[in-house]
Amino acid sequence: MPLVIFLIFLLIIGYFIATNAGLKIRFINRKNLFITVSILLIFIILVSSVRIVQPGYVGVQVLFGNLNKKVLKNGLHFVFPFVQVVMMDVRTQDYTMSIAKEEGVKKGDDAITSLTRDGLTISLDISVWYKLDPQKAVDVYQNIGTNYVEKIVRPAIRTSIRNATVLYNVSEIFSEKREDLSKKIFDELYANLFEKGIIVDKILLRNIDLPTRVKTAIDEKIAAEQESQKMVYVLEKERKEKERKLIEAEGIAQAQKKISESLNRQYLQWYYIQNLKELLNTQNSKIVILPFDKNLVPLLNLGE
């Protein structure tokens, strides 16, 4: 924009100098000079009126310090020649704060340190996916400027994390409450940034780091809990096995009782004869039948 104004100014000054000094150029009189300058002015004005907004951006219009509330969406636009169009990115962006030197937005250790409810210090690596609300781009530019990431996004992330971690003990964060912690951070961060014109899509708790002694204590506690659960399982298994054996023994006892009740004299004689027949029919077997009584049960004392 300053270049356009400067060119127009030079053309006007050049025209007046040429006409007032009576300067005559071959084949060009004052009338032709005026037409030429006019055409050049019109061309410069037309060119300076064209604005192209690339995909993923919106244009904020500024005219002599005043903002136009209408944003320019992606595409070709014709605006007033002296309007300055500020391009603002509305694509989803990532802001990472990490202990790893090359991962975060800032170089070096940029992890967030925070206190828990039980007074321990933890370090968190986090990634936040966010984007500028296109409908609020003018307000963001007016109230914050183009550097809104460092001015409000980064401080809001740090504050939301620290406000959330003080609600949980370390053991909870490292076990069943990690998802709850993530949701708490997201809810507060979303609320804080939405009113400023920034939309938070998602947060990723990538890593939570603890002092070594705390890690050891947590690992020992988890191991003890797992061992306790294992013993409960073993005891329950033994109890069920005992119940199974008792039921089995009761069944056997009842079966034996029924069998003993059914073993009368006639059945045993019949059973003896059947087995004797099978032995006699077996090849290569030698059977010696000893003298026995008239009841055909030589080895059984059935009584009278």
Domain 93-210 -> CATH class: alpha beta
Residue ranges of domains in the chain? 2-88, 93-210
User: Using 50, 70 and 90 to split pLDDT, how confident is the model at 225?
Assistant: confident
Give the helix/strand (H/E) hosting 66.
strand 66-72
Spatial CB neighbours of 201, under 8 Å, sequence gap ≥ 6: 92, 129, 130, 131
Report DSSP state, residue 210.
Answer: -
Residue 192 pLDDT > 90: yes
What would the mean pLDDT of 14-18 be, rounded to a whole number?
Answer: 57
**58-93, pLDDT tens digit by residue?**
988 888 888 888 888 888 887 777 788 889 999 999
The amino acid occupying position 130 is Y
Higher local confidence (pLDDT), 70 or 101: 70
Is residue 33 within 8 A of residue 18, CB to CB? The reply is yes
pLDDT of residue 172: 84
Question: How high is the mean pLDDT of the chain?
Answer: 78
Our CA dihedral for 65, 70, 71, 72, rounded to 10 degrees, sits at: -110
**136-154, pLDDT tens digit by residue?**
999 999 999 889 999 999 9
Residue 28 pLDDT > 70: no
Strand ranges, E, within 106-261: 112-115, 121-132, 198-209
Q: Assign residue 99 a region: left if phi > 0, alpha if psi is -120 to 50, beta otherwise? A: alpha
Is residue 144 within 8 A of residue 193, CB to CB? The reply is no
